[in-house]
């Protein structure tokens, strides 16, 4: 009975305090609501960001290593000054790597540029044109929906053929057949031999369906004569990824004539680089969200104390 009376009196006191301090009560409630909503929204946002990121990052392939002149992520101006004068990676170096690597399943040169693409009176502006070889199908995981991919003979001989992305095929040919037709890439004509399956965007930015893949020899002769290549290396066995990475590093140092004791003049990037960078960014976002949430709840708590006392 005493407990019931105390609860009843406590509720009356609380109600009287709320009625006597209407504005303060509203502001306090608002602070608490903002805090709770912020916690919920922050958790939902980070969870959605994680899922979207993991979907995109899976396109890189856990078993693929990417050799480039510089790292994907340069953290400081001093680091950029250190790497800016490195020599480009050349196609000859790619060919030499293909001969010497033993733990790789596929090795593909990669270079790209933006060019307009045209078929009759239909145009696609700013399409990503990729110069590579038949090995790119394995390193990139690209799947062909119609036709076929480049052959080794086409990649080596430079026959003007191409494989186009889903959006390029849709924009240029709409519902008509794409295979066997010739499209103009920049100022060159290329016969369409394949159409890729729809892939979507990478990290919401790079449209993987807005691309045209051509033989690397054709790229060098008509698009860009002296580019800086990236090399994509798909390892033979994911379990031997670290061994393959060490072999790759040693072979690249030999090919690029890096003296013993000197730093590498190239970078080996992989899926893990993106994951570690994303985790740092997501951690910063979560910390900021927790601070805002804590501040809202703290303000709400002070308001409650002012009302009650």
DSSP states of 255-273 as a string?
HTTPPTTSPPSSEEE-HHH
Q: What is the mean predicted confidence (pLDDT) over 155-175?
A: 90
More confident residue, 274 or 233: 233
Predicted local distance difference test score (pLDDT) of residue 164: 97
Which tokens is 116 given?
A: 């307009």
Q: Considering only CA atoms, which of 196, 1, 193, 226 is closest in space to residue 113?
A: 226
Q: How far is CA 153 from the centre of its chain?
A: 31
Asked whether the predicted pLDDT for residue 142 surpasses 60, the reply is yes
Predicted local distance difference test score (pLDDT) of residue 216: 95
List the end-to-end C-alpha distance of the chain, in Å, as a whole number. 26
Predicted local distance difference test score (pLDDT) of residue 3: 67
Predicted local distance difference test score (pLDDT) of residue 186: 85
d(CA 62, CA 235): 10
State how far the alpha carbon of 119 is from the alpha carbons of 172, 178, 185, in Å. Answer: 6, 10, 9
CA angle 276, 207, 213 (to 5 degrees): 110
State how far the alpha carbon of 297 is from the alpha carbons of 11, 22, 66, 293, 303, in Å. Answer: 22, 19, 46, 6, 10
Asked whether the predicted pLDDT for residue 303 surpasses 90, the reply is no
Q: Whole-prediction pTM value?
A: 0.73
pLDDT band, very low/low/confident/very high, at 196 (cuts 50, 70, 90): very high
φ and ψ of 181, to 5 deg = -85, 155
Q: How far is CA 291 from the centre of its chain?
A: 29
Predicted local distance difference test score (pLDDT) of residue 55: 62
Q: What is the mean predicted confidence (pLDDT) over 175-183?
A: 92
Q: Considering only CA atoms, which of 229, 234, 228 is closest in space to residue 109?
A: 229
Per the listing, tokens 């186009």 go with 164
Q: What is the mean predicted confidence (pLDDT) over 178-199?
A: 94
d(CA 10, CA 26): 20
Q: What is the DSSP letter of 203?
A: T
Predicted local distance difference test score (pLDDT) of residue 122: 92
Helix, strand or coil for residue 111?
strand
* Across 63-67, 134-138, 163-167, 292-296, least confident range: 292-296
């Amino acid at each position: 009975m005493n407990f019931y009376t105390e609860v009843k009196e406590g509720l009356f006191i609380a109600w009287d305090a709320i009625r006597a301090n209407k504005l303060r009560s509203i502001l306090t409630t608002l602070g608490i609501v903002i805090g709770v909503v912020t916690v919920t929204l922050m958790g939902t946002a980070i969870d959605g960001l994680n899922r979207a990121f993991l979907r995109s990052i899976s396109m890189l392939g856990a078993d693929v290593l990417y050799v480039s002149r510089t790292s994907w992520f340069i953290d400081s101006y001093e680091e950029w000054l250190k790497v800016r004068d490195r020599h480009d990676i050349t196609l000859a170096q790619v060919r030499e790597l293909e001969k010497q690597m033993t733990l790789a399943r596929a090795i593909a040169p990669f270079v790209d540029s933006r060019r307009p693409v045209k078929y009759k009176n239909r145009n696609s502006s700013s399409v990503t044109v990729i110069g590579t070889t038949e090995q790119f199908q394995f390193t990139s995981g690209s799947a062909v929906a119609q036709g076929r991919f480049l052959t080794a003979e086409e990649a080596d001989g430079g026959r003007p053929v191409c494989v186009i992305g889903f959006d390029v095929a849709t924009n240029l040919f709409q519902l008509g057949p794409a295979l066997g037709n010739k499209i103009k890439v920049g100022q060159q004509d290329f016969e369409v031999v394949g159409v890729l399956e729809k892939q979507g965007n990478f990290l919401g930015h790079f449209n993987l369906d807005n691309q045209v893949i051509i033989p690397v020899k054709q790229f060098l002769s008509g698009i860009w004569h002296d580019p800086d290549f990236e090399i994509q290396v798909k390892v033979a066995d994911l379990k031997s990824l670290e061994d393959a990475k060490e072999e790759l590093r040693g072979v690249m140092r030999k090919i690029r004539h890096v003296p013993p004791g000197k730093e590498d003049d190239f970078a080996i990037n992989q899926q893990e680089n993106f994951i570690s960078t994303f985790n740092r960014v997501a951690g910063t976002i979560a910390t900021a969200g927790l601070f805002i949430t804590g501040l809202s709840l703290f303000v709400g708590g002070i308001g409650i104390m002012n009302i009650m006392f």
